[in-house]
């Protein structure tokens, strides 16, 4: 058995590497166990069709590399500016193989402690965590972080589903589908990616699931169907033999060289019909593999058992000191924010590293001290609204917290915290705290008939700023953990909040809030 470690990370994908970097920066003993022979092996196979849909915007018009992370969805955080993914290619949608190269460069150039070819067989807990690998080695650590991603296909509960082809096993060879009728189960990006690949080969493609498709350009969730994958929609609406089917699949039966599929249409009064196909491909997504945990530390699962259940700081709700990093963090904001993707979870992992420092080593949260006056607060908030990439990527989910220290008579400014952690843990006993977020006006967007023709608020009509639909800063004032008031900064066409119509109303709002703080109302 190896020497006890402070931390053991399972998985050398982007999340495992990101956390390893922070732990190494903080001088902790740690190791990363990776079953593959290199970092990022997931991206050697996925996405199957080898093009990432995470954007790589090299030319932004700005010089600040951290600010530019707003449009760089692939880079990990480090002090080495050469380790930005934008240095590897100018392609807006990069090749997946480049991600493998980037992650291995990140691991090697930063000299991260990774044990390759270490396939974990069992995890137990006897005091600390005991991890056994298939080659007979044992590791022990005080704290365990799972960064394995969603490594197993999610199989819907449909009779006969076992006889279908799985997205994880797909070949790029289209010959077997030539002039064949194909059913694709699922309507997310992997399904559309697959359909797009087969359009020129299959005679007919149907895509089926119970719920209608959701487009990312309407929901602002990048995991919904992206424009880069939606060529298939044209073939449906323009009658090219393909179709989107909103239906429950009741059963699948193999009949010789074809399949009979019983479906119940969800938008046709549950009309039941049997359709025939030559191939069925299941693109229903992935799930977390909890099979390696024994009964001493098996974590509870959530969302159809697809993800480990976590609290506000990404710790298992039933196993203390067991944490999760990477795409499995999306359990906290499932299909709403960006925690399932590098450009979201890199900030989650950064927060987790800071949380571990605070919890186990009593290290104070990094913060700045701001004078107790409206001008100083306004300047601090405006600066962050115009520079933060974490608030930009994790809209409404992450926040900056500005807490009033009554003993100091000043404010302490904390950056990049999950909003629910700020309210439920960090500042629940603080008399006055302001939170800054960047958010879309999603309710108004969802009500709009035409999402590309929503009326914008006039720049000089700042008293209607709360009607803004574009991304814009929002300041919340909490008193004794209750929402006291809210202030919206009016949306800006360039998403730059630097004009008097942004600054003056904010300063006036803060002046009113500070007057109440300085002169509290008496009963």
CB-CB contact of 390 with 339 (8 Å): no
CB-CB contact of 336 with 386 (8 Å): no
Q: Rounded to whole angstroms, what are the CA distances from 2 to 8, 131, 226, 307, 326?
A: 12, 10, 46, 30, 26
Can you tell me the distance from the alpha carbon of 302 to that of 236, in angstroms, rounded to the nearest whole number? Answer: 35
Q: Give the count of beta carbons closer than 10 Å to the beta carbon of residue 485.
A: 14
H/E stretch holding 143:
strand 138-146
What is the set of domains in the chain, with CATH numbers? Answer: 5-150+287-361 (3.50.50.60), 161-284 (3.50.50.60), 368-518 (no CATH)
Residue 257: exposure state from Cβ atoms within 10 A (0-12, 13-18, ≥19): exposed
**DSSP conformation class of 191:** H
Q: Is the pLDDT of residue 521 over 60?
A: no
CB-CB contact of 472 with 456 (8 Å): no
CB-CB contact of 260 with 250 (8 Å): no
Residue 1's pLDDT is 45
CB-CB contact of 348 with 341 (8 Å): no
- Which residue(s) pair with 318 in the sheet? none
Write out pLDDT tens, residues 203-231. Answer: 999 999 999 999 998 999 999 999 999 89
Can you tell me the distance from the alpha carbon of 388 to that of 69, in angstroms, rounded to the nearest whole number? Answer: 9
H/E stretch holding 349:
helix 342-361
Burial 271-283 (b: 16+ CB within 10 A, else e): eeeebebbbbbbb
**DSSP conformation class of 457:** P
Residue 520: pLDDT band with limits 50, 70, 90: low
Can you tell me the distance from the alpha carbon of 108 to that of 113, in angstroms, rounded to the nearest whole number? Answer: 9
**Residue whose entry in the numeric block shows the structure tokens 């915007």:** 57
Residue 443: pLDDT band with limits 50, 70, 90: confident
pTM here is 0.94
Q: What is the mean pLDDT of the chain?
A: 94
Q: Most distant CA pair in the chain: distance in Å?
A: 82
Write out pLDDT tens, residues 147-179. Answer: 999 989 999 999 999 999 999 998 889 999 999
Residue 459: pLDDT band with limits 50, 70, 90: confident
Can you tell me the distance from the alpha carbon of 385 to that of 396, in angstroms, rounded to the nearest whole number? Answer: 13
List, in sequence order, the alpha helices (H) in 54-112.
96-109
Can you tell me the distance from the alpha carbon of 172 to that of 301, in angstroms, rounded to the nearest whole number? Answer: 33
CB-CB contact of 142 with 6 (8 Å): yes
CB-CB contact of 216 with 226 (8 Å): yes
Write out pLDDT tens, residues 132-152. Answer: 999 999 999 999 999 999 989
**Residue 162 exposure: Cα atoms within 13 Å on the Cβ side:** 1
Can you tell me the distance from the alpha carbon of 414 to that of 380, in angstroms, rounded to the nearest whole number? Answer: 11
Say if strands 279-282 and 272-277 run parallel, antiparallel, or are unpaired: unpaired
Residue 2's pLDDT is 56
Nearest to 20 by CA among 362, 415, 346: 346
Residue 518: pLDDT band with limits 50, 70, 90: confident
**Helix crossing, 500-518 with 374-385: angle to 10°?**
130
Can you tell me the distance from the alpha carbon of 183 to that of 448, in angstroms, rounded to the nearest whole number? Answer: 32
Write out pLDDT tens, residues 248-292. Answer: 999 999 999 999 999 999 988 889 999 999 999 999 999 999 999
């Amino acid at each position: 058995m190896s020497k006890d470690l402070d931390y053991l990370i399972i998985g050398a994908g982007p999340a495992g590497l990101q956390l390893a970097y922070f732990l190494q920066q903080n001088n902790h003993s740690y190791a990363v166990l990776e079953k593959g022979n290199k970092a990022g092996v997931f991206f050697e196979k996925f996405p199957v069709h080898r093009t990432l849909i995470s954007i790589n915007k090299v030319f932004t018009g700005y010089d600040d590399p951290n600010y530019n992370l707003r449009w760089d969805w692939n880079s990990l955080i480090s002090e080495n500016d050469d380790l930005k993914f934008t240095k590897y290619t100018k392609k807006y949608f990069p090749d997946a193989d480049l991600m493998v190269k980037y992650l291995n460069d990140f691991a090697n150039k930063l000299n991260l402690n990774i044990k390759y070819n270490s396939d974990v067989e069992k995890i137990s807990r006897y005091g600390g965590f005991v991890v056994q690998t298939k080659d007979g080695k044992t590791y022990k650590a005080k704290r365990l972080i799972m960064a394995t991603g969603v490594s197993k296909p999610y199989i819907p509960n449909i009779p006969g589903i076992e006889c279908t082809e799985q997205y994880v096993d797909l070949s790029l060879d289209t010959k077997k589908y030539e002039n064949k009728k194909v059913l694709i189960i699922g309507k997310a990006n992997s399904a559309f990616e697959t359909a797009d690949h087969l359009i020129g080969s299959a005679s007919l493609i149907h895509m089926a699931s119970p719920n209608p498709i959701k487009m990312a350009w309407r929901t602002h969730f990048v995991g919904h169907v992206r424009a880069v994958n939606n060529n298939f929609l044209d073939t449906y609406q323009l009658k090219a033999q393909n179709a989107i089917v909103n239906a429950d699949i009741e059963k699948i039966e193999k009949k010789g060289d074809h399949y009979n599929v019983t479906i119940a249409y969800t938008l046709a009064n549950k009309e039941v019909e049997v359709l025939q196909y030559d191939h069925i491909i299941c693109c229903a997504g992935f799930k977390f593999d909890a099979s390696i945990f024994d009964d001493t530390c098996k974590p509870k699962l959530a969302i159809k058992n697809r993800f480990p259940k976590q609290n506000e700081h990404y710790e298992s709700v039933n196993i203390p000191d067991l944490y999760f990093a990477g795409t499995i963090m999306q359990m906290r904001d499932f299909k709403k924010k960006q925690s399932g993707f590098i450009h979201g979870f890199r900030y989650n992992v950064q927060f987790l590293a800071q949380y571990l420092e605070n919890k186990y080593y009593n290290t104070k949260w990094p913060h700045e001290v701001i004078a107790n006056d409206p001008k100083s607060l306004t300047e601090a908030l405006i600066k962050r609204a115009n520079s933060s990439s974490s608030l930009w990527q994790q809209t409404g989910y992450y926040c900056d917290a500005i807490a009033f220290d009554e003993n100091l008579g000043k404010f302490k400014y904390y950056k990049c915290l999950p909003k629910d952690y700020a309210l439920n843990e960090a500042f629940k006993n603080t008399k006055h705290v302001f939170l800054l977020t960047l958010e879309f006006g999603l309710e108004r967007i969802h009500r709009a008939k035409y999402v590309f023709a929503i009326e914008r608020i006039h720049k000089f009509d700042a008293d209607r700023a709360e009607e803004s639909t574009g991304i814009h800063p929002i300041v919340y004032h909490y008193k004794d953990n209750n929402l006291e008031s809210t202030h919206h900064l009016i949306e800006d066409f360039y998403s730059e909040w630097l004009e008097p119509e942004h600054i003056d109303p904010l300063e006036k709002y803060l002046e009113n809030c500070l007057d109440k703080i300085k002169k509290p109302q008496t009963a």
